[in-house]
Structure 1
């Protein structure tokens, strides 16, 4: 099984997690936005990787401006996660 296949299959458990997290209504809303943002990060990274391969004939990790932009979005989602859970702990 290729790494691409494993990556694709890993989306199903994550989507199930998002579904249960949303349905439970026990997750802080801001953190839930962060988890959904992580899914958007994946959706952005895939075309960015293809663009890096086609335009620069290199992997995404080696195209600094493109990789840095994608990672910046991931940083934002991580901040949302932390702030959401921090807020939930403070409100306990």
Structure 2
């Protein structure tokens, strides 16, 4: 199985995860936003990878400005998830 196929197939379990974590209503709002921002990362990474291949003849990881721009959304996603759960833990500690 190619890495592109694996990347595409991995989207389905993640969408299932998003469905159940949203439906549960127990995930902190900011963390939930972070989980959805990860989809933005995926949506940005795919065209960025295609552009890197077409314009430069290289993989996305080898075009620093493009790779860094796409990775920004992964970083943003992680920050939202951490801050969301952190605030939830702090709220539980204060109660």
Shorter-normalised TM-score: what interval?
Answer: over 0.9
Distance of 1:88 and 1:72 partners within structure 2: 24
For structure 2, the 5+ residue unaligned runs are none
Partner of 1:63: 63
More displaced 10-residue stretch of structure 1: 81-90 or 3-12: 3-12
- What's the TM-score once normalised by structure 2's chain length? 0.93
For structure 1, the 5+ residue unaligned runs are none
1:29 Cα deviation from its structure 2 partner: 0.5
Distance of 2:8 and 2:61 partners within structure 1: 19
More displaced 10-residue stretch of structure 1: 16-25 or 3-12: 3-12
Structure 2 residue 12 is the aligned partner of structure 1 residue 12? yes
How many equivalent residue pairs? Answer: 92
Question: Which runs of at least 4 in structure 1 moved beyond 3 Å after TM superposition?
Answer: none
Distance of 1:73 and 1:3 partners within structure 2: 21
Partner of 1:79: 79
Q: CA RMSD in A?
A: 0.8
1:70 Cα deviation from its structure 2 partner: 0.9
